[in-house]
């Protein structure tokens, strides 16, 4: 197996995308936030608000900002002019299911941007609800799909 972020001397390096062709690329990632039953019930009863304000609306804004700033957080990510970032959050049972889809026309993919957007949205949900409980669990951050470039990917159990 060859690691793309190592040079000939096995030192970390950014992947050179200068020779690649810009194409439409997209990726979708998911994160799950599990609440204690009382917190999920409180969210439903309050119209998805916590003492800090509108939980999911705030998380969507934070997730989009996180996706746009991925290159500032992950050392070898290229800065991308993201063309679209859509985040949805659904309360299913006692869990918030976060989906983040990012699209760009570029020489490199947006998997990390989608994963970062979903993760930051999940962290924001936690932050907005931690006054209600610290027993909130963030889990299952994963890539669901990517397309464009050389390869396609779809998760086995989306």
Q: For residue 60, give the CATH number of its domain.
A: 3.30.70.640
The 10s digit of each residue's pLDDT in 105-127 is 998 889 999 999 999 999 999 99
pLDDT at position 34 is 98
Average pLDDT over residues 22-27: 93
Q: Is 29 contained in some domain?
A: no
Q: Is 74 contained in some domain?
A: yes
Q: What percent of the chain has pLDDT over 90?
A: 75
Helix axes 111-129, 55-68, angle to 10 degrees: 150
Q: Is 35 contained in some domain?
A: no
Q: Is 2 contained in some domain?
A: no
* Lowest mean pLDDT across 25-29, 37-41, 134-138, 151-155: 151-155
Number of domains in the chain: 1
pLDDT at 74 exceeding the cut of 80:
yes
Q: Is 1 contained in some domain?
A: no
Q: Is 87 contained in some domain?
A: yes
Q: Which residues are catalytic?
A: 127
pLDDT at 10 exceeding the cut of 90:
no
Its domain, for residue 55, covers 46-147
Find tokens 């490199």 and name the residue.
Answer: 108
Q: Rounded to an integer, what distance in angstroms lies between the CA atom of residue 105 and that of residue 82?
A: 8
Q: Which residues pair with 26 in a beta bridge?
A: 103, 147
Band (pLDDT 50/70/90 cuts) for residue 150 is confident
Q: Is 20 contained in some domain?
A: no
pLDDT at 1 exceeding the cut of 70:
no
Task: Give the Å distances, CA to CA, from 109 to 5, 13, 69, 115, 153.
Answer: 15, 17, 15, 12, 12
pLDDT at position 136 is 98
């Amino acid at each position: 197996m060859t690691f793309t972020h190592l040079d000939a001397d096995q030192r970390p390096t950014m992947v050179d995308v200068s020779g690649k062709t810009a194409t439409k690329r997209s990726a979708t990632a998911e994160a799950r936030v599990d609440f204690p039953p009382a917190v999920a019930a409180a969210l439903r009863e309050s119209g998805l608000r916590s003492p800090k304000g509108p939980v999911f609306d705030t998380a969507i804004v934070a997730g989009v900002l996180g996706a746009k700033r991925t290159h500032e957080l992950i050392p070898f990510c290229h800065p991308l002019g993201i063309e679209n970032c859509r985040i949805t959050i659904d309360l299913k049972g006692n869990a918030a299911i976060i989906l983040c889809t990012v699209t760009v026309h570029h020489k490199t993919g947006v998997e990390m941007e989608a994963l970062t957007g979903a993760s930051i949205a999940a962290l924001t949900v936690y932050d907005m609800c931690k006054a209600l409980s610290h027993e909130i669990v963030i889990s299952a951050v994963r890539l669901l799909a990517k397309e464009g470039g050389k390869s396609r990917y779809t998760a086995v159990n989306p």
